[in-house]
Structures are given as C-alpha cells and as structure tokens.
Chains A and B, each alone.
Chain A
C-alpha cells in the first residue's frame, strides 16, 4: 500500500490547486448524483427545487450514478470527495457501506418521522437495507410484450418468456444473472420459497442455466434500461424485461402497442447514500437535505412524475395524479395490490455473496 500511497500523494499534490477549489465548495452549493433522464427530472421537481427555494442552497446535478461505486472509491482513495449525496440502487449501497465509502445512518434520528409520528425505521420497515442506505423508491424489473405480436392469448405469467412454442420470436433479457436465474428456476418448477436455497448450490445454478439455454438462441441481451423499450418499439423482440418506469413511459406516454406483465416482477430499491470523507459542514448540509427529501410528502410528490412507488408506507395513500397527463398514478405503481400479486424481492444478502461466483458462471455460459 506504501507505493500506492506515495503515488496517490504525488498525484494529489499536483492537483492541489484544483482540490483547494473543489474542497472550498461554496457553502451554498451541493452536488447531487443521480441517474439522469426522467428520473433525475422527477427528483428535480419533487426534491431539489423546493429544497433550493426553502434554503437557498444551489443544487448541482451530476448524472454518474451508473459508475457511482467505482468513482466514489477512486475519489475516496485520492482523498477528494466532490459529491454530497448520491443516488444508488440498494445493492450498490450495501457494497459502498461494506467498503466504508458510505456513511452510516440512524433512521430514527437522521430521517424525518411520518406525519402521524411513526418513526422512520418503522415507516421504511424492511426496505432499510444495510446501515447506510436511505430508501427512496421501489421499482421493479418486469416484462413487457407487444400486444400485436403475441396472438390472441396474451401472456399472463412469467414463464411465457420460456415458452417459445406459444410465443415464437425474440425476447430481451438483462445481461446479468440476477433476476434471470430466479425466473428460470421458477419456470423450471422450483417452489418460489426454495429458489435461493437452490441457487446457492452448484446443481441449482446449472439447472437455471440449462433452463435459460432452452431459449438462448432467441434472446437479445440488454445492458442499458433503454434497450428493451427501443427493441419493443422497433418490433425487434416480442417481449422483454426492463424497469417498470420505462415500460410506463412506452405505454402511457408514447402510446406504443405494448402491455405489461406484472407477474413475478423483481422488486428492487433505489435511494440515497452520503459519502464518507465530507467536511463537517458538507455532511451537515447533506443530512439536512436527506431529512427534507425523504419525508412522507416529498416521496409522495415524486410519484407525480414517474411511476415508481415511494419507499415509505405513509406516502402510499398520498400518491396522486400524474403532473402532466392527469391520470391516477396509483394503479401504475409496482406496489399496487393488483400488480403485486406475485413478486420477488431482490435478495441483497444472497447476491452480495454469490454475485461474483454466479456472474462468472453466467458469463462463461454466455460466451460458449
């Protein structure tokens, strides 16, 4: 580590001038990192603008969430963290927390209570994954299909993905094992409750890959959330998995002949972390922002702009109409009772352990 430190120190020395500037971070500015696109816009409307109006703090948007983990690690090693609040998915938050790159949060003292006085830890409940993660939304990875290309009997359950007889044509799936392995086992007849036990074994993993192998030639693998909507719109695939918010905008905002299959949707969480290594003033401001932006009203407000479910129980009844389209948003939420009859919750603990191992096998399977 000594060589590393010397090298880093010399690098830091030469950019000292630049550092002095960024560290000086004007008291009235903060950098918030998120995913960009419609999602960042919803945060701008629901959180940033009201917060700026209230406090006079100027918020700078950075759209680097996709590389947040590696960039934060690099910043931390260089001793110059320029981000104040970062939007990440829960699995990344867990990783950042393990690496000591995210600050631990005490929900009951550092997050707002619900309007009826319920403590934040209870209001968020199980969604508080790890010690550093502050949940914001619940989204899901689910399947959309072309209504005009699936014939007279549109698919109703997830196993339609594997049924190339009834639904011939290409389908798009995410180029990673998470989600696909669970669906494969489910459609191979494994009990839903036993899926992670099975995936923890060599045989179970092979079984899932074998099931996926039955449709390997029919799959287009995607890595960006925008891929499946585009493939569906172009008629390249007849069905494909993507985030429910993407499908919402494809169906409702762009009026494409696409419908959603909510069956076995894979719930995932997205939320905030505060990086470690901030100066006390910046840390205090970041905490102040978080306290404001994750209260019951603000989380409910965000749902006016995008079809992701607020992470607080107390926000759910307050979800109203879409800000521009004027349609009721509740029925488009992944958490709506009609949509969530059969769901998976991304098993963070499991994937934190098995991600490297199963990913290696999955990628090896893909290239062969």
Chain B
C-alpha cells in the first residue's frame, strides 16, 4: 500500500511517528539519564569489581610478563631476570606509593603479602644504590642532576629551563636529546620515567633534582651491555667513556639475593604462584572465593573446611527469608481480611496501626525487640511471673534465628498487609454471598471463591517481603547473634571493614543473580501478570 507521495504507507507512517517518539523520549530523557548515571552506572561499576584485577599487572607489568615463562609446576623459584624486573617494577611502584596497595590486594589471597610489600618498600630503593655509589665514587660528575640533564636533555629544553623558577608557571616538559635512545637505551627509558614523575607527580624542579638510584642501575646495564657509545659525540662523552671502562669491573648486584636479604619470603614458592595466578587483568578469584573455593595453580579447588562460610550463609539467607515470608503471609492475611471487610472508618483507624510501626525508625523497632526478647526481657519476665517457665530456664529468644525471624517478620509485615489489603478491597462481597446461596459452606466459599481472587496480593506481598528480606543486614546484625546472620552481613563487612570490595561485589552479584532467577521462576510458575499491588 502506498501513501499519497508514493512511498510505502508503513514507511511514511513511521516517519510521521518518529517525531512524536523523539518528543516523548526527550520528555523522559532527564529521568532516564538521572537513573542511568546515579543508579545503573554505580551498580554496574560495583559489580564489575568482582572480576576486575588490573592492579597486579599494572603495578608489576614487567614482572608479570616475565613470569609467563616461569614453570609453576617445578620447584624452582623464578630466575634472576624476573627479580630484575621485580626491582624495576617495585622501584616505580614505591615512588608512586602503589606497592602497599598491591600488598593489600594480594594479602586477601595469601597471608603475609601486606607486610612483605610494605617492608620491601623501605629497602628496595637501597638495592640500586650499590651502582649509584660506585658511579659517584668514580667521578663526582655523576652526583648531580644538573650534569645528568646536560647530556640527557635536548638543547632546546636546557635553554628553556635556564633560569626557570616555580613562580614562572608550568615547568617546561623534559625533552630527550635526539639519538640518546640509541646510545643508552635502558638509561633513556628509565630517565624518561624519572623525569615525567619528578615534573608531574612530585612537582619538583627536574633541573636541580638528583636522579633515582635505578637510573644508575640502568646506566650500568647499558655500559656493560649493548650501547651506541662508540659514535657518541654529545656532552659528557669523556665521563661516559671513562665510566664505561670502569663499569666492567664494578661490583654487581644479584637481584634475587638482594630480595632474599630484604625478606626470605621472596624465595617462597607460594608468593610467586600467588602473583602468577593473579596476574591476569580479569580474575574469577573473587567469585570462587564467594562460593568457598579458591584459585590455585591447578585451577579451582575447595577451600579447607575451617574456612567455608559463604555456602552456609547463602543457604541460611534463603531458608530464613522463606520462613519470614511465610510468617508474614500467616499473620498478614487475617489482618488484611479484617481491614478490607470493616467499615471505612474503623478500617482507616486499623490501617494507621499497621502503618505506625512502618513509620518508626528501623533501629528503634529492632532495639525494642531486643528489650522484649532478651533473657531478662519483658516476655521472659512475664512468662516467669506467670509460672510458665522457671527463672533459671528462660527462653532464648534473641541472638539466634528465632530473634531474627521474629523481628524481621514484624518489620516486613506492612509490606505484606498493604498489597493484600488493596487486592482484597477489590473482591466483591457479592461473590461470597452468591457462593453461599448456592450451598457452599463458609470454608468452601472462602477457599474456592475468595482465596483464589486474593492470590495476586499474596504474590505481590511475597515478592516484596522476600526480596527485602534477603538483603537485610541491620536487623540480623543486632538480634541475630551468630546463627541468625545473613549473607548481607558479610557483604557489609567486606565493603566497610576488610575493604575487599571485589569479594563483596562477587557476593552481591550472586545474590542479585539468585533473586533474578527466583523472579524468573515465579514468573514462569505464577505469572507476573498475576501480581497486583492494588
């Protein structure tokens, strides 16, 4: 079918509607962007942390690269090349104060890594000083940064630095002397890093700062290895050539030994396998941890028995949430029924009684339950006074699962009553009367006629209560003791206390997946269209 201008009708209609759709989109755009930016993005970011593991390869790039060849199956610790790379990486990490962060990260996987990295931080800098001292002893020329700059820096840059003061504004960016990269390759690479760090991070005057010890180790490497010194005609040629001659007889550093002297753990297989296992940018380690497993050289394996906790907690969270949801249905259904069947005036009054605790602070309500439930609390005192329980045999109602179930059922009850009430209000009383006039007993009329119509309310209430329950952590923390706590309590611990956000995110992701799975199952079995909030 064609429109008046000859284009297909469908196409022309779409064109006409597009403008309308755009306008509608523009109207909701502020909200959409707001939700995306303030809600979806942070959650996505948090969940992404459950697999993110860039810190290892970012802090130790050369080490992790050279570890690729290392045979983890063997019994040999990595060779000298790896330790030399480690010295390089650690040196920069220490200058940027990143090494302790990495130690903290790896300490989640292997106890002792935090102090190993913290302790090494103070001493790695000393390793390179062996070369620095020898160069400086050879010729005082090597002592000052000014001399280094005079041959490493380009003439333009040197001219622009001449007479520069902090008050003049931005420090002219270091420019390398042309051809230097061929003459002293390793030194150039190190020096560029040093210059960039000094100028940008430290905000110091590069011209008057003395170079890092690692620059001297690189120079030693260049002078004793491959270099382009033969054709060198730039400044300081004499000093460099003299140093090259002397460098061959310098005392050398064995990096492997040097690290062993810092801490004998550096020759420990566990340390190296942990670094290797956690060197990829993405890791499944957090998720494995969240299901009581751990990553090892041979792949995933179960954690030792005395460290398994999350499986128990997930199971307990699900089980207790189901119990709480069922308790809410049992208690909420009659209340909602009474509310729906009373005259409006009384119903409103009762509704306020339902809502009143809803408006009270969660902490206040939970603490009130503490007063009621504890051993010397109101309920036990009353029971003792009535002679129902003996005074030395009081009921344990708090700091266990009973406490959590009682307090949470009470706290979540309004979420069950309100949807039930609004659904029951729409059920015509005439249906019940019709059923009875056709000979049904009270029970049959209720069970066959009334109850099926109230199921959407139960569905809505159950979803609300269940989903709220599995994410609760304040109430279980206060009244749950040890066997009434939920998985959320561990998530809270990892987010705010242990700072293991990756593990917290993995636990959260599993919880989210479990909820979505249950929601999907509910939709398949009951049908989400059958859920009514009013």
On A, residues with C-beta under 8 Å from B are 1, 3-4, 7-8, 10-11, 14, 66-67, 69-70, 73, 95, 97-100, 170, 175, 206, 220-221, 223, 234-236, 349, 352-357, 359-361, 363-368
CB–CB B312/A367 < 8 A: yes
CB–CB A95/B104 < 8 A: yes
Cα of A235 to Cα of B107 in the assembled complex, Å: 41
CB–CB A359/B308 < 8 A: no
CB–CB A221/B500 < 8 A: no
Cα of A230 to Cα of B216 in the assembled complex, Å: 63
CB–CB B114/A360 < 8 A: no
CB–CB A95/B499 < 8 A: yes
**Given A1-B52, A7-B42, A99-B100, A356:B306 Cβ within 8 A:** no
What residues of A have a CB within 8 angstroms of the CB of B485 in the complex? Answer: 367
CB–CB B114/A236 < 8 A: no
12 CB contacts below 8 A, A to B, read A7-B44, A11-B38, A98-B101, A99-B100, A220-B481, A234-B376, A235-B376, A353-B107, A356-B107, A356-B500, A361-B306, A366-B482
Interface-facing stretch out of B242-250, B453-461, B463-471, B490-498: B490-498
What residues of A have a CB within 8 angstroms of the CB of B98 in the complex? Answer: 100
The verdict on B103 contacting chain A, using a C-beta distance below 8 Å, is yes
Query: Quick one: which of A7, A14, A357, A365 contacts B111, CB cutoff 8 A?
Result: A357
CB–CB A8/B500 < 8 A: no
The verdict on B351 contacting chain A, using a C-beta distance below 8 Å, is no
Cα of A207 to Cα of B411 in the assembled complex, Å: 40
What residues of B have a CB within 8 angstroms of the CB of A175 in the complex? Answer: 482
What residues of A have a CB within 8 angstroms of the CB of B104 in the complex? Answer: 95, 98-99
B367, closest chain A residue (CB): A230
What residues of B have a CB within 8 angstroms of the CB of A235 in the complex? Answer: 376
CB–CB A367/B309 < 8 A: yes
CB–CB B41/A10 < 8 A: yes
**Given A70-B495, A221-B482, A364:B307 Cβ within 8 A:** yes
CB–CB B111/A353 < 8 A: yes
Given A98-B118, A236-B375, A356-B107, 13 extra CB contacts under 8 A: A1-B58, A11-B42, A14-B33, A98-B114, A99-B499, A206-B306, A220-B399, A221-B481, A353-B111, A353-B114, A356-B498, A364-B308, A367-B485
What residues of A have a CB within 8 angstroms of the CB of B101 in the complex? Answer: 98-100
The verdict on B475 contacting chain A, using a C-beta distance below 8 Å, is no
Interface string of B41-58 (1 = CB under 8 A from A): 110110011001010001
Cα of A353 to Cα of B376 in the assembled complex, Å: 40
> How many whole Å from A177's CB to the nearest CB in chain B?
12
Interface string of B467-484 (1 = CB under 8 A from A): 000000000010001110
Interface size (B, Cβ < 8 Å)? 51
What residues of A have a CB within 8 angstroms of the CB of B399 in the complex? Answer: 220-221
**B interface, over-half SS:** helix
Cα of A365 to Cα of B496 in the assembled complex, Å: 22
On B, residues with C-beta under 8 Å from A are 33-34, 37-38, 41-42, 44-45, 48-49, 52, 54, 58, 97-98, 100-101, 103-104, 107-108, 111-115, 118, 306-309, 312-313, 316, 374-377, 399, 477, 481-483, 485, 490, 495-500
Cα of A1 to Cα of B101 in the assembled complex, Å: 15
CB–CB A69/B112 < 8 A: no
What residues of B have a CB within 8 angstroms of the CB of A361 in the complex? Answer: 306-307
CB–CB A69/B496 < 8 A: yes
Cα of A365 to Cα of B309 in the assembled complex, Å: 9
Cα of A365 to Cα of B305 in the assembled complex, Å: 10
> How many whole Å from A312's CB to the nearest CB in chain B?
26
What residues of A have a CB within 8 angstroms of the CB of B37 in the complex? Answer: 10-11, 14
Which A-B residue pairs are the 3 nearest by beta carbons? A98-B100, A357-B111, A364-B309
What residues of B have a CB within 8 angstroms of the CB of A236 in the complex? Answer: 374-376
What residues of B have a CB within 8 angstroms of the CB of A70 in the complex? Answer: 495-497, 499
> How many whole Å from B281's CB to the nearest CB in chain A?
9
> How many whole Å from A283's CB to the nearest CB in chain B?
13
Cα of A175 to Cα of B399 in the assembled complex, Å: 12
Cα of A95 to Cα of B41 in the assembled complex, Å: 27
CB–CB B52/A4 < 8 A: yes
Cα of A55 to Cα of B499 in the assembled complex, Å: 37
What residues of A have a CB within 8 angstroms of the CB of B316 in the complex? Answer: 367
What residues of B have a CB within 8 angstroms of the CB of A73 in the complex? Answer: 499
Cα of A59 to Cα of B495 in the assembled complex, Å: 29
What residues of A have a CB within 8 angstroms of the CB of B309 in the complex? Answer: 360, 363-364, 367
CB–CB A359/B498 < 8 A: yes
What residues of A have a CB within 8 angstroms of the CB of B111 in the complex? Answer: 353-354, 356-357
CB–CB A8/B498 < 8 A: no
CB–CB A4/B45 < 8 A: yes
